[in-house]
Amino acid sequence: EYDPGRAELYLWRGLALHTEKKVEQAECDYSRALGLDTSHLPACGDLVKMPTDGLNSLTSEQEMQARTALGWIKFGEKKDEIALNFFQTAISAISAPASSPQPWIGLGNVYYRMEEFGEAAKAGEQALRLDEYNLAALILTSSAHWKLGGLTEGAAICQHYEAAFKSLNVATQVEG
């Protein structure tokens, strides 16, 4: 049965809007799903509002998704401190073992842009523990190690990247 007071409906609509590149509107829905104040977000007035009374809380996985999405929005706006906060809170929202490398990749990208390459490498390594063939995590981690002067570590990760690329290529040929 449809319940317009469910927080996950905001999350799902936010994900759909984000996919459609309606970033400002998606930001409103992600914020609403998390129960954050949206009065400062101009696009929020343009959306059909769902009731906010008694919103059911999101699961930790859904909260991680919403915070990660907001982190990427702020990263795209070059608001690194805000993006960093969203990625960090996304990671802390996970109550079970993490399944998605996305908050770690986002966190690492913010650290990389802030030229904190050691922190970027740590975040990338954590993302690789969750998904060893994630190309974004491989590139982030190897680049951070390279910036730190760790050519051996960067080269080893690049070799892993090459293996990942080859396995992706084989998989697409089999499926295609």
56-86 pLDDT tens trace: 567 788 888 888 999 998 999 999 999 999 8
Provide the residue type at 20 as one letter: E
- Can you give the pLDDT at residue 20? 80
> Which parts of the chain sit beneath pLDDT 70?
1-5, 43, 45-57, 95-98, 150-176
What pLDDT is recorded for position 126? 94
- Per-residue pLDDT of 4-24, as tens digits, reads 567 777 788 888 888 788 888
Would you state the pLDDT for residue 40? 74
* CA 38/CA 27 separation, integer angstroms: 9
What is the per-residue pLDDT for 154?
61
* Residues pairing with 6 in the sheet: 56
How far is residue 128's CA from residue 158's CA, in Å, rounded to a whole number? 13
Give the C-alpha separation, 27 to 52, whole Å.
16
Q: Which pTM was predicted?
A: 0.71
